Amino acid sequence: MPALKIEHLAKTYPRKRPLFGAAPPGVRAVRPMSFQVETGETLGVVGESGCGKSTLARMLVGLLEPTEGTIEIEGKALGTADPSEFGKLIQYVFQDPQSSLNPRKTIRQVMEAPLKRLHGMAKPARNRRIAEIFASVKLREEFLDRYPHEFSGGQAQRIGIARALAASPRIIILDEPVSALDVSVQAQVLNLLADLKTRFGLTYLFITHDLAVVEAVSERIVVLYFGAVVEIGRADRIFANPRHPYTGLLAESAPVVGRSLAAPEQKGIELPDPLNPPPGCAFAGRCPRATDLCRTREPELKQMGEDQLAACHYPLEN
């Protein structure tokens, strides 16, 4: 049984109706997408800014109502978006560690909320649990009575992780958890996350724009482009053997020591306009392989090789 299974999950943000005339079609931030995350797996989600990563994440934790589709956690379907129902099963670690902590609450108050509200624990039980969690994220207990501004980014992110753990979730959504951190601190947090995963048997959905990071932490990777899944594959192969031209472009663009600089081959440079999406394949404007078929029919996600899927009419060969 997969830890998380989504089917046809989609989000369309409605647009304001103009004074005269009908409402324009909404912005399709996430197009219907389906995938699953196995228990104990880390699934990486990569994509450029605006491709729908955070919208997806917010739907998964119940902060945002999906327009269509279903979310299933450990076989149990979750109904309408209600964070307090989702909270016990799935938690969220935010990109900006500072702004995810209320500046006017002590860390203890922050940590107690999920224990009290989600699990209805009594005071002594709460204290024990907080001590436990703090030990596991390697934070000192004296931090509990301080306020968020007294912490560095790395420490604040540990607190964010501790708060997520306090709900005892099965799955944690990590939304760019290290991109606001310094490189030398980044590694500390990534290692901590890996450690916690084995210790508590967690399942991760790791969202990032950094290919090297996602490759280093995940088992499988989902590549998003313009609100849709364009490729899914094993982390150790997907960038070395991309099937979708966009994945190929991403892999070539990443700066790598020892590789010479050459602007990767592509025609257009602009992303498609979300208010006025092109028909057919969203990548066609930038794709060197695009044909008329691509510009008229949207490619579907198809199995390519044993554990790779890509949505492309003319996939790259191995």
Partner 1 sequence: MSAFLTLLFRNRLAALGAVVIMAILILVLNIPLLPLHDPDVTATADRFMRPFAEGHLLGTDHLGRDLLSRLLHGTRLSLAVGIAAALIAAAIGSAIGIFAGYFGGRTDNIVMRGVDMLMAFPYILLALAIVAALGPGLMNALIAVAAVNVPFFARNIRGITVGLAGREFVDAARLAGMGHTRIVLTELLPNVLPVIVIAMSTTVGWMILETAGLSFLGLGSQPPQADLGSMLGEARSAMISHPHTSIVPGLMIFLIVVSINLLGDGVRDALDPRLRSGALSRPRATTLVKRHGDVPPTTDDLLAIQDLHTEFHVGKRNLRAVDGVSLAVKPGECLGVIGESGSGKSVTALSVMGLVASPPGVITGGAVRFQGEDLIGAPYESLRQKRGDRVAYIFQDPLSTLHPLYRVGQQLAEAIRSHDSLSKAETRARAIELLNDVRIPNAKSRVDDYPHEMSGGMRQRVGIAMALANEPDVIIADEPTTALDVTVQAQILSLLDDLRRERGLAIIFITHDFGVVAQLCDRVAVMYAGRIVEEGPTQAVLDAPAHPYTKRLIACVPELGGGRRELAAIPGLPPVLDDLPSGCAFAPRCNKAAKSCRQGEIPLQGPALRTVRCLFPERTL
Catalog residues that contact ligand SF4 under the rule CB under 6 A. 244-245, 281, 283-284, 287, 289-290, 294, 299, 312-314
Supply 5's token pair. Answer: 């299974």
Q: How far is the CB of 2 from partner 1 (least distance, A)?
A: 20
CB 175 within 8 A of CB 160: no
Q: How far is the CB of 238 from ligand SF4 (least distance, A)?
A: 15
Q: Report CA torsion sign: 132, 138, 140, 144.
A: negative
**Interacting positions 107-146 with partner 1 (CB under 8 A):** 110, 113-114, 117-118
CB 230 within 8 A of CB 223: yes
Please pick, from the candidates 77, 79, 84, 201, the single residue that binds partner 1 as defined by CB under 8 A.
84
Question: Could you tell which of ligand SF4, partner 1, none binds residue 177, using a CB distance below 5 to 8 A set by kind?
Answer: none
Q: How far is the CB of 242 from partner 1 (least distance, A)?
A: 12
Stretch of 2-10, 26-34, 70-78, 83-91 contacting partner 1, by CB under 8 A: 83-91
The H-assigned helical ranges of the chain are 53-60, 83-86, 107-119, 123-136, 153-166, 183-200, 211-217, 235-238, 245-253, 292-296
Residue-wise DSSP of 42-98: EEEEE--TTSSHHHHHHHHTTSS--SEEEEEETTEEE-S--HHHHTTTEEEE-S-TT
Stretch of 17-25, 70-78, 95-103, 294-302 contacting partner 1, by CB under 8 A: 95-103
Q: How far is the CB of 142 from partner 1 (least distance, A)?
A: 17
Q: Contact between 266 and partner 1 (CB under 8 A)? A: yes
Please pick, from the candidates 105, 197, 289, 295, the single residue that binds partner 1 as defined by CB under 8 A.
105
CB 73 within 8 A of CB 90: yes
Which residue's CB is nearer to ligand SF4, number 169 or number 315?
315
**Interacting positions 228-257 with partner 1 (CB under 8 A):** 235-236, 239-240, 249-257
Residues pairing with 228 in the sheet: 225
Stretch of 18-26, 66-74, 84-92, 288-296 contacting partner 1, by CB under 8 A: 84-92
Q: How far is the CB of 290 from ligand SF4 (least distance, A)?
A: 4
**30: nearest Cα among 62, 53, 49, 7:** 53
Q: How far is the CB of 271 from partner 1 (least distance, A)?
A: 6
DSSP letter at 143 equals G
Q: How far is the CB of 177 from partner 1 (least distance, A)?
A: 12
Strands 228-234 and 220-225, bridge-based pairing? antiparallel
Stretch of 69-77, 96-104, 123-131, 299-307 contacting partner 1, by CB under 8 A: 96-104
x/- letters, 150..189, toward partner 1 (CB under 8 A):
--x-x-----x--x--xx--------------xxxxxxx-
Q: Is 155 exposed, middle or buried (0-12, 13-18, 19+ CB in 10 A)?
A: buried
Range 290-307 burial, b when 16+ CB lie within 10 A, else e = beeebeeeebebeebeee
Supply 49's token pair. Answer: 């800014």
Please pick, from the candidates 212, 288, 293, 296, the single residue that binds partner 1 as defined by CB under 8 A.
212
Residues in the interface with partner 1 (CB under 8 A) total 77
